[in-house]
Copies of this chain bind each other. A is one copy, B any other.
Amino acid sequence: MITLYDIPGKLPGQAWSPNTLKSRLALNFKGLPFHTEWVEYPEIEGLYKTLDLAPTNVQPDGVTPYYTLPIIVDASIPGKDPVVVSDSWNIAVYLDQAYPDAPLLFPKGTKALQAAFQETWMDAFFWPATVFLRPRTPEIALNPRSAEHFRRTRSHQLGRPLAEIEPKGEARVAYLKEWEEKLGKVARVYEGVTDERYLTGDEAVYADLLAGAYVRYFRVIGGKEEWEIVSGWHGGLLKRIGEASEKYAMLP
């Protein structure tokens, strides 16, 4: 059995984190059975130590280790020691290597170009979205212990309270206008996708799932009013992207 370590929340269908959702979608896409272990933010570091796993990332200061989910532990291969993998991209790469007969997240020759999609996507969609997502995530999604941890660590990183990062009034109007234009980069990418349902054809690849996971996060947490605005841009681009991978979400 494969175990996916995810961050719990208080929403119905509690999976909310886009990073762990990427791995959830990937596991479902490949049709691999797994179960979820829920870990509140303050316990993630301890989980790394229990699993004897080096931190995947460092914080923006360049030295402090950054303990993040998802992690998977794959104890499903008979006669082999359990394999522990962290970071959603690494997990996707591992799943294709370990299960090459299940549908591929990275069909031959697409890994570098999918990485390019990820760069464009983060720039044009996710980073601009964070000013709405960060203040709302602890309010809407998280249980009290994780909420406190999220607020404290994120405002420390950003150097100010989360409540202050969302632009208001005229600044908000200007911000949204600039974001809409920036999202044009993603719209230009999807100009290459005409009759197909997904980025490379009639089957999803990892890039489709990745984009879908972030769209779902924003739809649920980003704010009803903001979703109405943003999902209307570029001919309903984000709605289309979200819907295409929704069938792989299969939330617990």
Contacts and interface: CB of A to CB of B under 8 A. Distances in A.
A113 interface: yes
Interface of chain A: mostly helix, strand, loop or mixed: helix
Contact of A115 (B115, B119, B123, B189): B189
Contact of A108 (B112, B115, B201): B201
A103 B124 CA distance: 32
B120 A201 contact: no
Contacts of A189: 112-113, 115-116, 119
Q: How many copies does the complex hold?
A: 2
A214 to B, nearest CB: 15
Interface residues of A, number: 28
Interface in A85-125: 107-117, 119-121, 123-124
A116 B124 CA distance: 11
A71 interface: no
Contact of A109 (B185, B191, B201): B201
Interface in A182-197: 185, 188-193, 196
A221 to B, nearest CB: 25
A76 interface: no
A187 B185 CA distance: 20
A207 interface: yes
Contacts of A108: 201
A116 B185 CA distance: 8
Given A115-B188, A191-B115, A200 B110 contact: yes
Contacts of A113: 110, 113-114, 116-117, 189, 192, 199-200, 207
A188 B111 CA distance: 11
A200 B120 contact: no
A108 B207 CA distance: 16
A202 to B, nearest CB: 9
13 contacts: A108-B201, A109-B110, A109-B196, A110-B200, A111-B192, A111-B193, A112-B117, A113-B116, A113-B189, A113-B207, A115-B188, A116-B117, A119-B185
Interface of A: 107-117, 119-121, 123-124, 185, 188-193, 196, 199-201, 207
Would you list the 8 A-B pairs with minimal beta carbon distance, nearest first? A112-B192, A111-B192, A113-B113, A109-B200, A116-B117, A119-B120, A119-B185, A115-B189
